[in-house]
Structure 1
Amino acid sequence: MVQDMGSQGGAGGGAPVVSHGGDLDAARSLFPAAPEPWIDLSTGINPVPYPCPPLAASLLQRLPAPGDLAALLGAAAAAYGADPAGIVAAPGTQILIETLPRLRPRSRVAVVSPTYAEHAAAWARGGHAVTAVPDLEGVGGAEVVVVVNPNNPDGRAWPAADLLALAERLRARGGLLVVDEAFADLEPVRSLCSDAGPGLVVLRSFGKTYGLAGIRLGFAVAEAALGRRIAAALGPWAVSGPALAIGRAALADLPWREAAALARRADAGRLDRMIARGGGRVVGGTALFRTADFPDGPALFRRLGGAGIYVRRFAEAPQRLRFGLPPDKAAWCRLSRILR
C-alpha cells in the first residue's frame, strides 16, 4: 500500500522513504485503464490558484537582485505579522524541513504524530533520535519538538498559549519548537509568526494557499540569528526571480486570500456532505482537504482510481481516505457519481 503523508517512520535508526501526493505517474501505474485526464485529489493544494501577474522577461534572464528578495520578504512579513529581520525565503518549505536538522547538534526530537512524515524523516536523516508522540504532553525530555498546526491529515489545532508555553520551556534548556503552519493561512487559527524568537521557529507554505506549488516558495520565521544561519545554509539566489515576483504580488493581495478562505471553507463543507452521502464519516481536515473513514476504504480507493480520481490512502488505517478539493464543476460531478 502506498505510504501516506500521515505515515511515520521509526526513531533514530534510519529515515523512512516518504511518498507524496500529486504523483500521477504512480496513479497511472496502479490504474492503467483509468480515463484521462486524472482528477488529482491527493494533495492539499488550493485548486483555484492565484492569478499570476505578467512577468518581465528579464526575470528569467538575470539572477535575482537583492532588492527583489527584500521586496518579497517585506510582503511576507506584512502578510504573516512577522519581524522582517527574522524571515527567510526558501524554494519551498520542504528544503527548510531538511535544513533545520543540520543546524543543531544531535538531539532528542519529538514529532507530534501522525503528521506530515517528512519532519520525522528529515530529523532522522540528520542523525537525531526521533520519537513520535501523540500530543504536547508526551514530549518528555525532548530538546526539539515539531508540531504541524493545523495538522495534516487530521486538522488538529493546538491553542497558541499551549504552544508558546512549550516553546518557553524548550528555550530555557536550549531547545527548539518547530511549528509548521503550512495550512494556517485559510484557517481560524492564531499564527505564531509574531512570536517567533529564541526557542521558536515557524514554517509557512506559499504554494498550498495560493495554488502555486510548482513555483517552490516557503518561509521560515525565526529569531534573527537563526534566520541568518538558515539563509546562509540555503546559499545565494535560493529563490528564483519569477517566484520572488509572484510571491510578492500574491502575499500583498490580502483581499484575494480572504476571499479564498471563504470559498475553500464552503467547498470543504460541500465535500463533507458529499462524503456523508457516500457512507463516509469525516474525521478531520482543513479548508483544503478532508479526511474520512469508510466501511470499505480500499474498495472505494479502487473505484475512485478506476474512474481516474486519485486520493490519499493510509497504510496504518485502510478505512481512511483523504480528499483534496475538486477544481471545477466537472470534477465535482465526477466525484459525486462515484461516491453515490
Structure 2
Amino acid sequence: MNPESIRAASRVPHGGETDPDVLDFSANTNPRTPKGVEELYAAALEGSRRYPDDDYPTFRAAAAEFVDCSPERVVPTPGGLAAIRLAMEITLEPDDEALVPYPSFGEYAREVRLQGARPRFVRYDELTELRTAALESAALAVVCTPNNPTGDAADPDALAAFADRCGDAGTTLLVDEAFLGFTDLPSAAGFERENVIVARSLTKLFGLPGLRAGFAVATEDRRDTLETARRTWSLGTPAARVGAHCLRDGEFVAETRDHVERERERIREALERRFDVHPSDAPFLLCDVGDQNVDELLESARERGVAIRDATTFRGLDAHVRVAIKDRERNDRLLGALGVGESTDRHGHK
C-alpha cells in the first residue's frame, strides 16, 4: 500500500448490527450454517496449538471443487475482502487508474486509493459493455456479481466477452463473487485467463462473517504472484477446517438457494406495496423509498427491533434502503416493521 494514501484515507460504512436484541437485516448473511460446524470448530482448538499447514491442501481442494477449477489455482485468504486487497496490491501502482462500479461495494474505491491509484467510477450495469479502447488507460477493472447493493448478476457471456476485451487492453479484471454462491451461475474461475482474478467469500453463503475465510482464484503468473504475496498462515486452523467443511456441503448450498429464491420473491411482492424494488439474484433487495424520509424509515424499523441498511451511503443512491433475506419467521418481522405485514414489537410479539 501507499503510505501517503493511507494517511489521507478513511473508513467506509457497512451493514452489521451489534445489538443482539435487534434483528439484523442490514448485513446480507445466511441465518443458517451447515450442520457440524460447531463441533468442527471446537475440535479445531487442539489443532490450533500448532501453526497451520501453510499449503492448506484440504481447503484448496474444497474451494477448487466449489468453483470448478484446479486446487493449484486457489489462493487462501482471510475473507473475500482480503482477496480483493491482495489482487489490488499485486496489480496497482501509484497513479494507476482503476475502473470501479457504482453503486457498488464501497471498499473497492477505498482499496484502490490505499494503493495510491485513482478510481474511475462507471455505472455497474454499463461497465461490462466498455470497448477495448476505453479500457486501455485502466490497469484494473472491478466487477461485482451479483452486484451489491442492487442484487442483479452479470450475464456470464457478457462477462466472458468483457474479460477478453480486458485482456486485449492489458487490463486486469477482478471479479468479486461474494454472493454468486446464492445462484447457480458459473464462476469466472472457468475463464482461465491470466488477466482474470476471482475473489470469493464464505461469509455470506455459510452464515459465518466472523470466521474470515475466503480465497482468490487466478492462473499462470498472476496466480504465482498472488501466492507469493499472500500472508504466511493466511487462514487460522478453525477457518481452514470449517471453511473446507462448508464448501463441501452441497446439500446445504442447494437448500439455501431454493429458500432464498422463494423468500426473496415473497418479500419482494410485499415490499412493492410501499417501495420500488430492484430485481435481484442475491440474498437482499434494494428498495427505492421515493419521497419517504430514509432516516425516519430506519428509525421506525429499529423501534420495532429491526435494523435495515441505509443505502444512501452507496454512490448514486439518495432515497434507498437495502434489506437482507432471512428465514420466514424473521422475514415476517421485517415486513411488519416496514408496514407491509403484521406488526410485532422488538421481541416478536404481535
Aligned to 1:117: 106
Aligned to 1:308: 305
Q: Displacement, 1:211? A: 0.7
Indicate if the aligned counterparts of 1:15 and 1:122 stay in contact, CA closer than 8 A.
no
State the superposition RMSD in angstroms.
Answer: 2.3
* TM-score (normalizing by structure 2): 0.84
Give unpaired runs (5+ residues) of structure 2: 340-350
- The residue identity in structure 2 corresponding to 1:322 is R
Is residue 281 of structure 2 the alignment partner of residue 286 of structure 1? Answer: yes
Q: Displacement, 1:63? A: 1.4
SS in 2 for 1:178: strand
Aligned residues: 317
Indicate if the aligned counterparts of 1:297 and 1:320 stay in contact, CA closer than 8 A.
no
- Distance in 2 between the 1:73 and 1:256 partners? 20
Aligned to 2:63: 76
Task: String of CA shifts for 1:44-103, please: whole Å, max 9, x gaps.
Answer: 111222231523242232211256x10110011011112222111110011122222221
Q: Displacement, 1:178? A: 0.6
2:48 to 54, 57, 60: 60
| Change beyond 3 A, Cα 1:286–1:163 | closer
1:67-216 to 2 correspondences below 5 Å: 69-106=56-93, 107-134=96-123, 135-136=126-127, 137-138=129-130, 140=134, 141=136, 142-216=138-212
Aligned to 2:331: 332
Q: Following superposition, which runs of at least 4 residues in structure 1 exceed 4 angstroms of deviation? A: 13-16
- The residue identity in structure 2 corresponding to 1:61 is R
Aligned to 1:22: 16
- Distance in 2 between the 1:283 and 1:105 partners? 33
Task: String of CA shifts for 1:218-267, please: whole Å, max 9, x gaps.
Answer: 11110143223223222221101011111111111112111111011112
Aligned to 1:33: none
* TM-score (normalizing by structure 1): 0.86
- Distance in 2 between the 1:169 and 1:325 partners? 35
Q: Displacement, 1:209? A: 0.6
2:33 to 14, 28, 49: 49
